[in-house]
Structure 1
Amino acid sequence: MTIEARGLTKRYGGKTAVDDLTFTVRPGTVTGFLGPNGAGKSTTMRLILGLDAPTSGTVTVAGRPYAAHRAPLTEVGALLEARSVHPGRSAYGHLLALAHTHGIGRSRVAEVIEAVGLTEVAHRRAGGFSLGMGQRLGIAAALLGDPATVILDEPVNGLDPEGVLWIRTLLKRLAAEGRTVFVSSHLMGEMALTAEHLIIVGRGRLLADTTVEEFVRSAGRDEVTLRSPQAGRLRELLAGPGVEISGGGPGELTVTGTGAPDIGLTAATHGVPLFELTPRRVSLEDAFMELTRESVEYHAQGVAA
């Protein structure tokens, strides 16, 4: 089941939170939804789930608006706010209440509680849950109806390393089963390990709709850091069309436009000793920061001590 947004726009008074967004999220892959704070990610997810009405444009899941699905929990599972649980209700009670709205049996409630690792605390009040436990409960609610589409907003927030690994494995498994998986996150390293496709927004507008591999590749060339007592000589030998060389510390150079094997071969051929030869690949974080540089709404400033 695909998620399709066409010309999606949402304005709140004079502020445009989502600005003419058009994209498609397809099944069988984990699609990461990225953007700086204030980029419109949460608003877009609310529009998909019918929690807000678009000012203009449309967004559908499996060809229909979310509200048009007769049993939405069995079509779309979502986690937007993990703390949207009555604090006096137990995890089991919360999920059972949701299950009753769709005719889902008690056995499924017990199944998702076990799947997210909350069996031992299933009958404790959710108000006493840690942030990570609350996230697990929210994910259990999203999976309750065994939906074909899963939408999660910052699912690893508050999870420990084991929990982060669990979420990563879960998302990949859901996608491998042919489900549509749409996940927002600020953790670029985690998205690089989890997502295959990216939709990136900034100030409400679409900035990129591409694979992780293509996005990183298009961001720029890899760098190589080297140290040598004859750095000046090596700079002369490496200089050429398309090669950029900058100085670092004493005897240190940063080179783009040629790879570590060629640098090492050039140094060996001319008898130039190398103390270090370290390639550094462009990361998803590097590519993201470069793309969204002009779309960041809140810039941190240095504070004097």
Structure 2
Amino acid sequence: MIEARELTKRYGDKTVVDRLSFTVKPGEVTGFLGPNGAGKSTTMRMVLGLDGPTSGTVTVNGRAYGRHAAPLHEIGALLEAKSVHPGRSALGHLTALAQTHGIGRRRVEEVIELAGLQSVARKRVGAFSLGRGQRLGIAAALLGDPEVVMLDEPVNGLDPEGVLWIRNLLARLAAEGRAVLLSSHLMSETAQVADHLIVIGQGRLLADTSVADLVAASLGGVSVAADEAGRLGALLAGPDVTVTSTEGGRLQVTGLSAREVGRVAAEHGIALHELTPTGVSLEEAFMELTRDELEYQSAPVTGRTAR
């Protein structure tokens, strides 16, 4: 488990992470999302003790990373796939890491096979493609059989087979009871693998929720067909809820999830014929949530680009 409490990091007068609190729980894949410059990388570096917080705390399995006698058994991390001496082989790199924790050769061979690197295990890492470098970084993260796994953009450079491998690997790690923190800009992938989401912008927490709830809270809303649509609409209306009638007597509800609409209907004995989330994609919900938090705003693309 990773627990951050009021975690803050300042560089001079610039606050990069601002009183951030969250928990990455065992048995779940937690997506860590935010625009460029949101503070994700700084937060992950603080988890590993590479940067010290200005204030607040972050612990891994109840302790600061640096207080663990054998940290590779507690958390395995991939922050930068190319942070390996280019003259070493994949086997040599993993063996050196293993020796720092008394991990045997058999485990080194297991993670090489897990990452699909058997055919290049003795080749120099400097000649690896980005995708192979990612696989090596993931193998290193899993070397100590850790309870917590933290990966930053793990699918970068991977081909479709590699992306599927990552997807299945993350699901398996969570099913084994491990806590998984996944940082990614690929919303479609995150939507498929994440059980929970932590979204930050300009170092502050914007959302700590599930994929379904974040999408449901976006502008997409819920489409409802009911016997007493007018009465249901009046019951659902509120300060933060918009209810509009559509063709065929349906209701379009924004501001409530499908579960909340269904609960109100059940409490008042209103039969529903259809209850369909019309939510947007995770990417669209993310863009809506972080619209005011972007470090860089792109101009709209119109007409022909000047040469």
Question: Is TM-score (shorter-chain normalized) higher than 0.5?
Answer: yes
The equivalent of 1:51 in structure 2 is: 50
Give the AA of the match of 1:292.
T
| Same amino acid, percent of matched pairs | 69
Give the AA of the match of 2:280.
V
The equivalent of 1:249 in structure 2 is: none
The equivalent of 2:3 in structure 1 is: 4
Q: Distance in 1 between matches of 2:145 and 2:299?
A: 46
- Equivalent pair of 1:8/1:22 in contact (CA under 8 Å): yes
- Equivalent pair of 1:219/1:287 in contact (CA under 8 Å): yes
| Secondary structure class of the residue paired with 1:166 | helix
Deviations 1:161-192 (A, max 9, x none): 11011001000100000000001000000000
Aligned pair count reads 259
Q: Distance in 2 between matches of 1:299 and 1:6?
A: 30
Q: Distance in 1 between matches of 2:278 and 2:204?
A: 31
| Secondary structure class of the residue paired with 2:243 | coil
| Secondary structure class of the residue paired with 1:97 | helix
The equivalent of 1:164 in structure 2 is: 163
The equivalent of 1:242 in structure 2 is: 243
- Equivalent pair of 2:147/2:178 in contact (CA under 8 Å): yes
The equivalent of 2:66 in structure 1 is: 67
Are the structure 2 counterparts of residues 243 and 6 from structure 1 closer, same or farther at C-alpha, using a change threshold of 3 Å? same
- Equivalent pair of 2:151/2:183 in contact (CA under 8 Å): yes
- Equivalent pair of 1:32/1:185 in contact (CA under 8 Å): yes
**1:293 aligns to 2:291 (yes or no):** yes
Q: Distance in 1 between matches of 2:278 and 2:208?
A: 25
Larger Rg: 1
The equivalent of 2:26 in structure 1 is: 27
| Secondary structure class of the residue paired with 2:36 | coil
Give the AA of the match of 1:94.
H
- Equivalent pair of 1:3/1:60 in contact (CA under 8 Å): yes
Deviations 1:61-102 (A, max 9, x none): 111000000000011100000000000000000000000000
| Secondary structure class of the residue paired with 1:243 | strand
- Unaligned regions of 5+ residues in structure 2, if any? 224-241, 254-276
| Secondary structure class of the residue paired with 2:69 | coil
Moved more, 13-22 or 213-222: 213-222
1:1-305 pair list within 5 angstroms: 2-222=1-221, 242-243=243-244, 257=252, 281-302=279-300, 304-305=305-306
Q: Distance in 1 between matches of 2:101 and 2:61?
A: 19
Superposed CA RMSD: 1.8
Give the AA of the match of 1:57.
G
- Unaligned regions of 5+ residues in structure 1, if any? 225-240, 246-254, 259-278
- Equivalent pair of 1:221/1:257 in contact (CA under 8 Å): no
- Equivalent pair of 2:220/2:278 in contact (CA under 8 Å): no
Q: Distance in 2 between matches of 1:129 and 1:256?
A: 55
